[in-house]
Amino acid sequence: MHIEVSGNGPDLVLLHGWAMHGEVFAPLVDQLRPHFTVHVVDLPGHGRSVEDSTPLRLPYVVNAIAAATPPAVWCGWSLGGLFAQHAAATAPKVRGLVMLASSPRFVRGHGWPEGADAAVFTQLGQALHDDFASTIERFLALDVMATPEARQQMQQLRQRLLDLPPAPRVLQEGLKLLQDTDLRGALSGLPRPSLWMAGQRDRVVTPAAMQAAAALAPRAHALTIAQGGHAPFLARPEQVGQALQQFVATLA
């Protein structure tokens, strides 16, 4: 599994979302390097780990990452948050958990009205399969603010993501994780402090869903990033970076 390490300071593991890879964090990593030793993971079947055959399942992936990284705070965005939360519940090396536009349960169901309809993910999976480039471009356009600098940033990110498309198998494996996983039951016993950051404009994992999840965990705090979408670190990397610094500073 490919893990890019840079920066200086406390160790921080970053886990990307479905069909992406670690380069999507580039604007955020620029903010974090002066303050953290950042471990940017490419999940199996994604990015520079495209040939990694590790099943995209929680224990397999978490065990592999934990074996390859020092004790650290784990930050998971979207799908990556499922791995981060599982690690925080099971791996002693996890010092703290940051959930970034990520939920213990992504789909709506009994006792969880805050989730999205399962069809949202089915449709996205089909779009990624049919036209990966256009789907990624639409996603970035929704999350990057409409300034000349942001448009240039979007084009750079787009090219980085398109240069390393995911293995076809992880489109299905990731879809299954998003539709079937429910980690709410582990939150009450979560042994580490957690920060739940939502994007104000996110319609996939809403601020209400993040607040509801944080309410289930001890030593948890929910924060909404103003004007952020499903990837708030693209529109507001400085604000997300500052929130991460403040959270890590509170850990013993």
pLDDT at res. 195: 98
- Determine the residue type at 211: Q
SS3 181: coil
**Of residues 54, 64, 88, 55, the one with CA closest to residue 3:** 64
pLDDT tens string 132-169: 888 887 777 666 554 455 566 667 777 888 889 999 99
Strands 11-15 and 37-41: parallel
Domain ranges of the chain: 3-249
pLDDT tens string 27-47: 999 999 999 999 999 999 999
Secondary structure (DSSP) of 153-164:
HHHHHHHHHHHS
Angle between helices 148-163 and 132-143 (to 10 degrees): 150
The count of residues in the chain is: 252
Q: Which of 105-114, 124-133, 154-163 has the highest mean pLDDT?
A: 105-114
Instruction: Count Cβ atoms below 10 Å from residue 95 Cβ, excluding itself.
Output: 20
pTM of the model as a whole: 0.94
pLDDT at res. 162: 85
Query: What are the catalytic residues?
Result: 78, 202, 230
pLDDT tens string 44-100: 999 999 999 999 999 999 999 999 999 999 999 999 999 999 999 999 999 999 999
Question: Which one of 3.10.129.10, 3.30.160.270, 3.40.50.1820, 3.30.2320.20 gives the CATH number of domain 3-249?
Answer: 3.40.50.1820
pLDDT tens string 8-31: 999 999 999 999 999 999 999 999
pLDDT at res. 139: 77
pLDDT at res. 150: 57
pLDDT tens string 213-237: 999 999 999 999 998 889 999 889 9
